[in-house]
Amino acid sequence: MLIGRNALSVDGSTEVSEESTEQDGEEAVSPGSESTYQAGDDISTTEGPNALNKMDDIANELAEKLGLPKYAIILIAIGIVLIFLLCCCCCLRRWCKKRKKDKVGGKKGGKTVVDANSAKLLGNAMKENIDGDEEVGNEDEKEVEKEKVNLGKLQFSLDYDFQQGQLTVGIIQGADLPGMDMGGTSDPYVKVFLLPDKKKKVETKVHRKTLNPVFNETFNFKVPFSDAASKTLVMSIFDFDRFSRHDQIGEVRVPLNSVDLSRVIEEWRDVTSPASDKDKDHLGDICFSLRYVPTAGKLTVVILEAKNLKKMDVGGLSDPYVKICLMQNGKRLKKKKTTIKKNTLNPYYNESFAYEVPFEQIQRVELVLIVMDYDRMGGNEAIGRVVLGCNAFGDERRHWSDMLASPRRPIAQWHTLQELPEGK
């Protein structure tokens, strides 16, 4: 028997003998043994070195090679792990942030995200501010047959201030107006202006579904007394229609040289058919829809059609197309245009155009639509235009406010073309 080797006893059992060699306080286990036992210790079973022992061996080897203490190697390893985890967290955070922006329709550059309620509030506020002292451009006044039919009556007042050179016109009420809608009612409002210049046009509020509207609105016009005799006051009554051209019910004309301006005048007058000579100033009408999505900052304009355009060619027709310009502070931001429709005064387009307009800028931009007549040989001529925005007037301002009050919904409306200012 060798000391430190296994030997078989007479009864076949295995005897374990140990060669006790204590080195650095550690106990050596004989090869082939599966367990060790010391008095007072629990029995532990091992199957080769575990992961901790491997890591400890690696740390010892690195410490010997680098000449660093073991704890320094451990600290370096922990630092590397922390840096890796920090990088993972940063990447995950950026990915989540980008995904959130894409979900709510955020744009590059950190544009403000708004909800539809903000646009609704703005649109409703604009509707409340549309009152009768707004200036509007040239409005179409449809000619009706000159038959002696009852078009109702209009009550108005006139008060002239000689010191200020100011004429105050009061639109009091209407009575027995004809029904223009299929239901037998009308949505009347009154436009007021002075001839012959027609530079300033104002209008009352629209009164829904009534033939006897009560307006009680006043408007002021600067009229020097020396010019008063050459002026004619025109009060035109219209039936409002969002989806088609507004029909003119009739008008009341008052030449100022036919009344006594030294006293306050209040009287009823019959509504008469509009004068036919105003048809020569008619430039045409255009129908288009507006749709705004505040969360995405997207404005969509669909040019639907135009009709009764002014004749621009020698043959009595035109080659119309529409320019759509997005303006801010008089500066053109973007310009787009429709296709050209040859030899027609009633073109049909149905063409869509999209613009990026963040909600914080929607109150500062203007949308200008100009109907042009294409001329291959000479320069293209402008037939008329429509200007929309928060600073517009009349039907154009109302259309803009309806768009803001109904986000994501296309709002279509007819508009009468207005003359372009000189030099444009």
In a domain, 17, yes or no: no
Give tens-digit pLDDT for 326-338.
999 889 999 999 9
Same domain, 314 and 186: no
Taking the C-alpha atoms of residue 86 and residue 246, their distance in angstroms, rounded to an integer, is 66
Q: Is residue 78 part of a domain?
A: no
Place 115 in a pLDDT band, splitting at 50, 70 and 90: low
Confidence of residue 257 (pLDDT cuts 50, 70, 90): confident
Structure tokens belonging to residue 343: 């030899």
The answer to whether residue 369 sits within a structural domain is: yes
Strands 214-222 and 166-175: antiparallel
DSSP notation for 341-364: --S-SS-EEEEEEEEE--GGGTTT
Asked if 203 and 303 sit in the same domain, the reply is: no
Average pLDDT over every residue of 158-181: 92
| Interatomic CA distance for residues 59 and 224, integer angstroms | 102
Could you give the number of structural domains in the chain?
2
Q: What is the pLDDT of residue 57?
A: 76
CATH at residue 204? 2.60.40.150
Confidence at residue 185, expressed as pLDDT on a 0 to 100 scale: 87
Can you give the pTM of this predicted structure?
0.45
Who wins on pLDDT, 132 or 92? 92
pLDDT band of 50, cuts 50, 70, 90: low
Confidence of residue 218 (pLDDT cuts 50, 70, 90): very high
> Are residue 294 and residue 381 in the same domain, yes or no?
yes
Query: For residue 290, what are the domain limits?
Result: 280-417
* Domain C-terminal end among 275, 305, 338: 275
Query: Does residue 121 lie in a domain region?
Result: no
Whether residues 241 and 300 fall in one domain? no
Confidence at residue 128, expressed as pLDDT on a 0 to 100 scale: 59
How confident is the model at residue 150, as a pLDDT? 85
Q: Do 173 and 226 fall within a single domain?
A: yes
Residue 127: per-residue pLDDT:
58
Mean pLDDT over each residue of the chain, to the nearest integer:
78
AA identity, residue 227: D
How many Å apart are CA 150 and CA 273, to the nearest integer? 10
Q: Can you read off the two tokens belonging to residue 158?
A: 């006139």
Q: What is the mean pLDDT of residues 135-139?
A: 46
Same-domain status, 243 and 345: no
